[in-house]
A and B are shown apart, each in its own frame.
Chain A
Amino acid sequence: MDVRADPTRQLVRLRGRSYVAFVFSPVVPIVEWLAEIDATLARSPGYFVGKPIVLDLASVDLSSSAIAHLLGSLNERSIRVLGIEGVGEERLGANMPPLLTGGRACVITRNEPAQKPEPEAKPKPTSLLLDSPVRSGQSIVFMEGDVTVVGSVGSGAEIVAGGSIHIYGTLRGRAMAGVNGNSNARIYCQKIEAELLAIDGYYQTAEEIDETLRNRPAQAWLQGDTMKITPLN
């Protein structure tokens, strides 16, 4: 008994689609023509990437091996040829792109992105205000000027400012002021328990900060090349 289920037949659906291809028409001497291609690539690398390329060999008389060599040279330049036209089919090898006929000329429109108008230059802000606590692990970097924090700066957090740093809360983390070389920058805080204070590269760690200052409002500033930390009020 022959038990055989007929496989359900899938309909093959054929669709047409047209693309605009670049047509390369090499001229002799091929070497000079390739040099011209290289010059184009030097000006805009990747110009032909992802674009369909057709090779029109009508104006040259190349043997099968010469065509193979030309295809190889283009391949080296990352140019993949989609099809070839203007040559007898007998000259094309089995592993070459297929012969194309019936191409129509058209104008290639280059859709380059329109130049965006330059946004009007706003004056850059010279201070940064943060109205929530700065948590451990957060890093606030503001090179353009002062940083003000309404809240505390947690242990393991850091504030880096081009100008001064003002903290309306407890400073438990690191504060680095005047990092652009501004030795007039200062650090102010309501309660000092800092891990590290730095102004213009001069720094003090928690160990070096006077114990009597701890838990009090304080400011840090530079006098020459020594950092002064003094109580506020």
Chain B
Amino acid sequence: MAKVMVVTSGKGGVGKTTTTAALGAALAQGGQNVVVVDFDVGLRNLDLVMGAERRVVFDLINVVQGVAKLPQALIRDKRLENLWLLPASQTRDKDALTDEGVGRVITELKSRFDWILCDSPAGIERGATLAMRYADEAIIVTNPEVSSVRDSDRIIGMLDSKTVKAERGEHVEKHVLITRYDPARAARGEMLSIEDILEILATPLLGIIPESQDVLKASNVGTPVTLNNTDSAPARAYIDASRRLMGEEVAMVVPAERKSFMNRLLGRRAA
């Protein structure tokens, strides 16, 4: 059965696009047929993170409006043959999306793929509501800070009321993914703790992705972090999360502070 998964957050810059690309690639590596769909019409980024920006011909809006057929707009990943991208349009805005058009595209994607990962735009307006509209499951990307957590709480409320599943009286399965978790700052008490976040959101945890330079490096070369350096801490955390999505039991690892060799030699630097 195809699963429609929305990656959402409310707040911008928390790592939705990075997460969509990383989980999409990790699921594809696990043998699943995956398509990642960019709903950020007008401010598309997923094509860059996937390294497909020079191969975009048709986009989601063309398919929604019936200008192009779905196979014409789908872009196959160069590294994984069962990973595909449906890019957003950069020249249009979110008003070009229609409810029934999006519904048609999602139905067609469901017949071709195992996983449909929808990269939601930030905000709670048309783009975000249509990205979540047909979702079966949702990943709520949250940073360990109050503003992000409160926005996530708002988005969870919308997932429980504005989706097709909710309107039918069913439940959208929800997962919280904590990103940009900085063990050093957590140790100093400068961030919300994992327990606090889960207590506020009252939603099961999918994974904890540590703050890392590897994420930025991977984005800059247009590769999902799970394909760029599979041994890096964020890549391992994303791969674990993807295995949990596929139903495996994987122990949760809270990233711990790793002191560098020099730090260990010199101890704490005087302030």
Contacts and interface: CB of A to CB of B under 8 A. Distances in A.
Given A154-B150, A156-B150, A136 B199 contact: no
Contacts of B200: 152, 154-155, 170, 172
A133 interface: yes
Contacts of A72: none
B84 to A, nearest CB: 33
B154 interface: yes
B157 A136 contact: yes
A83 interface: no
Nearest to A172: B200
Given A154-B150, A155-B150, A156-B150, A138 B202 contact: no
Nearest to B202: A133
B157 A135 contact: yes
B173 interface: no
Given A154-B150, A155-B150, A156-B150, A135 B199 contact: no
A151 interface: yes
Given A135-B156, A135-B157, A135-B160, A152 B151 contact: no
Nearest to B156: A135
Contacts of B199: 152, 170
Interface in A126-156: 132-138, 151-152, 154-156
B144 to A, nearest CB: 15
B262 to A, nearest CB: 40
B59 interface: no
A138 B157 contact: yes
Contacts, number: 40
Contact of B202 (A136, A152, A155): A152
Interface string A156-192: 1100000000000010100000000000000000000
B38 interface: no
Contacts of B158: 137
Nearest to B152: A136
Q: Which of A132, A133, A172 has the most CB of B within 10 A?
A: A133
Contact of B160 (A132, A136, A172): A132
Interface string B148-185: 00110110111010000000000000000000000000
B113 to A, nearest CB: 30
Given A170-B199, A172-B200, A156 B160 contact: no
Contacts of A135: 153-154, 156-157, 160
Contacts of A132: 160
A133 B154 CA distance: 11
A137 B146 CA distance: 15
A80 B191 CA distance: 72
B14 to A, nearest CB: 15
B202 A156 contact: no
Most buried by A among B153, B156, B199: B153
Nearest to A151: B202
Contacts of A134: 157
Nearest to A193: B200
Contacts of A151: 202
A68 B200 CA distance: 75
B161 to A, nearest CB: 8
Most buried by B among A134, A137, A172: A137
Contacts of B160: 132, 135
Nearest to B151: A136
A7 B185 CA distance: 79
A110 B160 CA distance: 46
A172 B157 CA distance: 15
Contacts of B202: 133, 151-152
Contacts of A156: 150, 153-154
23 contacts: A132-B160, A135-B153, A135-B154, A135-B157, A136-B151, A136-B153, A136-B154, A137-B124, A137-B153, A137-B157, A138-B157, A151-B202, A154-B154, A154-B157, A154-B200, A155-B150, A155-B153, A155-B200, A156-B150, A156-B153, A156-B154, A157-B157, A170-B200
Given A136-B157, A152-B199, 9 more contacts: A133-B202, A135-B160, A136-B150, A136-B151, A151-B202, A155-B146, A155-B150, A157-B153, A157-B157
In the A-B complex, the 6 residue pairs with the smallest Cβ-Cβ separation, listed nearest first, are A135-B157, A136-B153, A136-B154, A137-B154, A154-B153, A135-B153
Interface of B: 124, 146, 150-151, 153-154, 156-158, 160, 199-200, 202
Interface of A: 132-138, 151-152, 154-157, 170, 172
